Amino acid sequence: MPSYSLRSRIHDAPLIGTTIVSSSPTVVEALASTPFEALCIDLEHSATTIAQLEQLVRAADVHRTPAIVRVPEVGHYISRVLDAGAAGIIVPRIETAAQAAEVVERARYAPEGKRGSGPGRGAAYGASLASPDYSAATNASVLVTIQIESTAGVEAADEILTTPGLDAVIIGPGDLALSLGVPMGSEEHWAAVDRVLTSAAAHGVSSGAFCFTLPDVERYLASGSRLILAGGDLNWTIGGAMTEWHDIQALRSADEPVGTR
């Protein structure tokens, strides 16, 4: 199994990745061949199953691109996706220090946590478990990230981000805007974002965000963020199709009727 050592990697330089919503190993393998440095496979907002996930992680590994998995919630999915070979996790909707502590507990082997060992793909189907260094090496490598995306999470950021074993926090900008009741990108929205980023820096936790525009990427990088997830397979599929459609329409004469469905 490839070892990506994402915990140490994000301290050296920003990690620029993108998000996968589809359940297609072909899409994952194709995007893994691009210069993007990580793929975030989304189990929160997709129909992807655990069985499908293992195929997606395997497809990313073809090009030695780390797969970070956003699980649906705090719970048993954490160990299952790591057993499938994920290089890291993102856990959404964290609002308390107790939730953050449970995330770490489920993601780390003893003595740092309580993750159970099993003969999954991540442990080379059990072969790696024979090594006395396996649990320590895995704990040192796997990236544990939480997502703050609510008013309650922002208010509790200082408590949440003192959690031992937590590597990074990323902003869920859309849900944060909904929770605040303000437009995304508004002054109030950025104030809440900056509050989390400031807290992360104070507690030695890396920060980042899901980004939808290039100016957003620029702003987060300027703030010192280390985990940037820009665009994604669904965005690019629709965006590429619309660009091609408009380019084709521009070739038609002004008096020719425009095609519709």
Label residue 90 by pLDDT band (50, 70, 90). very high
CA dihedral 118, 121, 127, 133 (to 10 degrees): -70
21 pLDDT exceeds 70? yes
Structural domains in the chain, sorted by start: 6-233 (3.20.20.60)
pLDDT of residue 213: 94
Residue 204: CB atoms within 10 A of its CB come to 11
Is 45 in the active site? yes
What span, in angstroms and rounded, lies between the C-alpha atoms of 168 and 258? 49
pLDDT of residue 257: 65
Prediction pTM value: 0.94
Label residue 255 by pLDDT band (50, 70, 90). low
pLDDT of residue 132: 87
Which tokens in the block code for residue 108?
């780390």
Write down the catalytic residue from 45, 76, 203, 246: 45
